[in-house]
Amino acid sequence: MSKPLQQKVALITGASRGIGKAIAFELAHLGASIMVNYVRNEEAAVETVTALRDMGSEAHSFQANAGDGADQTLLVDETFKLFGGVDILVHNAAIGAFKPVHKLKPNQWDLSMTINTRALLELTQKVLPSMESRGGGSIIALSSLGSHRFIPNYGAIGISKAALESLIKYLAVELSPKGIRVNGVSGGLVDTDAVRHFPEFEKFRDEVVRRTPAGRIGAPEDLARVVAFLASPQSAWIYGQILTADGGLSLI
């Protein structure tokens, strides 16, 4: 049976763990070949690639800091070499200091803006010639509710995600004539390693569960399925949107 992303190549930043890993499995499920990017945790990356191959997908991993220009070039070049090009770019890697905004140091601000936001622009510029030569593509970035509402100690990431959402909309218009769609997926609290660094995580999680109409926090697959939808032809008419999957949290 033909799968909607057969013959497509997906490059996913931060795909060794958490939501990025779940995205890798969802896209592989639809037939895509996967480049798993990671920065430190080689063991997790190898484990992810092995599991993807076990399910019949072509997959490789590559260590690169998604926020570093030279590393991005190496990552994209290696992807072109191994897979022949890129059809789907998912910018999922993100980082940020958990502290009040008014206590952020300039380097902490820069770190989040560089990895979470500017990397989407730079990676897009680097994969653009390949997407154009292949007749189009889909670019998706991960955002969060903290882009437009206050979450304690989350400002470094939240502000970078606000800029990311704006960048998505600008790119969506500019790249539409090239057959490239650019969208975002946003969510509330999702159960990954990252959220364990939240100050008083357990208390925060219980409060989010209490306030979420669906009665639980998110699982990585809850966001990954939306990314897969945006990567597939099923969403062909969706341009520059930030689709929120949060169990209804943002409604309250």
List the one residue from 142, 167, 226, 230 that touches ligand NAP (CB under 6 A): 142
Q: Is 21 a catalytic residue?
A: no
- Asked if residue 44 lies in contact with residue 17, where contact means CB atoms within 8 angstroms, the answer is yes
Interaction of residue 93 with ligand NAP, rule CB under 6 A: yes
Binding mask 112-131 for ligand NAP (x = CB under 6 A): ---x----------------
Please identify which residue in the block is written with the tokens 């946003």.
186
Beta strand pairing status for 59-63 and 33-38?
parallel
Q: What does the alpha-carbon distance between residue 215 and residue 4 come to, in Å, rounded to a whole number?
A: 33
1-9, 53-61, 87-95, 130-138 -> range binding ligand NAP (CB under 6 A): 87-95
> Catalytic pick from 105, 154, 169, 203?
154
Closest to 227 (Cα-Cα) out of 179, 175, 190: 190
Q: Is 154 a catalytic residue?
A: yes
Q: Which residues make Cβ contacts (< 8 Å) with residue 177, sequence separation at least 6?
A: none
Interaction of residue 243 with ligand NAP, rule CB under 6 A: no
Residue 185 main-chain phi, psi, to 5 deg: -125, 125
91-99, 200-208, 225-233, 236-244 -> range binding ligand NAP (CB under 6 A): 91-99
Q: Based on CB atoms, which residue is closest to ligand NAP, 82 or 132?
A: 82
54-62, 123-131, 174-182, 191-199 -> range binding ligand NAP (CB under 6 A): 191-199
Q: Which residues make Cβ contacts (< 8 Å) with residue 203, sequence separation at least 6?
A: none
CA dist list (Å): 139 to 85, 193, 208: 14, 25, 30
List the one residue from 33, 61, 72, 92 that touches ligand NAP (CB under 6 A): 92
- Asked if residue 18 lies in contact with residue 193, where contact means CB atoms within 8 angstroms, the answer is yes
Minimal distance, residue 195 CB to ligand NAP, in Å: 5
> Catalytic pick from 8, 21, 126, 161?
161
Residue 148, both tokens? 């437009």
Residues in the site for ligand NAP, rule: CB under 6 A?
13-20, 37-41, 44, 65-67, 92-95, 115, 142, 144, 157, 187, 189-190, 192-195
- Catalytic positions are 154, 161
